[in-house]
């Protein structure tokens, strides 16, 4: 292990980690919003939209992110639609992540007893209030492990952003490995970088799950 090489290229990996984290968080944030909307459409059986959402989820979950990125970056220009590499990265991660987030949200909502919703209606809550104050808080206690697992999964999926010529962690690692021939050192830096990115998410997941249970959001008697 050449530690001088490692120390000399820490800054390169920090820059790559920032690119990975920045576009990963953009995609994850958008996928959470898209997933919640798709979940509500399916859960409340909105006509027509429910079928479209079902098709979207099946397509997104059964095609690799790499193929989706190739379609956005190389396929759409043939139809006259050109997107930047950054836009392709965010849209691709959102398209994939939205499907997984929708299923996680749906599992949480379906775990809430239907009498909880009926109790909210009896209290005079509107549809939006019932979802916001009754269903979602309880559903999150069940869905949070799956949601955090999806976040970790999507952050790891950012490793394919390198095909878009973004200088993310994988691209930086491949460039240094090719030019310097220091495979062990590069892999060491790559592993450390990903652990540094993902470990806080794992710790946040554990903390959040405990807080939700402590707050009683998983208690079906809360309404």
Planar angle of CA 28, 160, 34, nearest 5 degrees: 25
Write the pLDDT tens digit of every residue in 134-154.
Answer: 787 778 878 888 999 999 999
Assess if residue 105 is contained within a domain.
yes
Cα 183–chain centre separation:
30
Residues 64-100: pLDDT tens digits?
999 999 999 988 988 889 999 899 999 999 999 999 9
Specify if 171 maps to a domain. Answer: yes
Instruction: Tell me if 222 is assigned to some domain.
Output: no
Asked, for residue 15, whether it belongs to a domain, the answer is yes
pTM: 0.84
Q: Say if 223 falls within a structural domain.
A: no
Q: Which domain holds residue 83?
A: 3-215
Q: Give the closest residue to 20 by CA, choosing from 199, 163, 170.
A: 170
Could you tell me if residue 200 is inside a domain?
yes
φ, ψ (nearest 5 deg) of residue 155: -65, -40
Number of domains in the chain: 1
pLDDT of residue 216: 55
CA atoms within 13 A on the CB side of 137: 20
Q: Is residue 29 part of a domain?
A: yes
Query: Does a structural domain hold residue 221?
Result: no
Residues of the chain with pLDDT under 50: 220-223
Give the CATH number of the domain where residue 185 resides: 1.10.3720.10
């Amino acid at each position: 292990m050449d530690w001088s090489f490692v120390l000399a290229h820490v800054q390169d990996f920090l820059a790559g980690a920032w690119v990975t984290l920045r576009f990963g968080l953009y995609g994850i944030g958008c996928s959470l919003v898209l997933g919640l909307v798709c979940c509500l459409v399916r859960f409340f059986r909105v006509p027509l939209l429910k079928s479209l959402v079902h098709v979207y989820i099946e397509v997104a979950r059964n095609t690799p992110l790499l193929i989706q990125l190739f379609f956005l970056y190389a396929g759409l220009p043939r139809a006259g639609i050109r997107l930047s590499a950054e836009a392709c990265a965010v849209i691709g991660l959102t398209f994939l992540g939205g499907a997984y987030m929708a299923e996680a949200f749906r599992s949480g909502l379906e775990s809430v007893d239907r009498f909880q919703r009926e109790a909210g209606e009896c209290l005079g809550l509107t549809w939006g209030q019932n979802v916001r104050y009754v269903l979602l808080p309880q559903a999150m206690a069940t869905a949070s492990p799956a949601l955090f697992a999806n976040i970790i999964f999507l952050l790891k999926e950012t490793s394919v952003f390198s095909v878009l010529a973004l200088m993310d962690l994988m691209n930086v690692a491949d460039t240094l490995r090719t030019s310097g021939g220091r495979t062990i050192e590069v892999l060491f830096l790559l592993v450390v970088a990903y652990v540094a990115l993902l470990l806080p998410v794992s710790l946040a997941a554990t903390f959040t799950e405990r807080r939700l249970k402590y707050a009683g959001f998983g208690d079906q008697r809360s309404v």
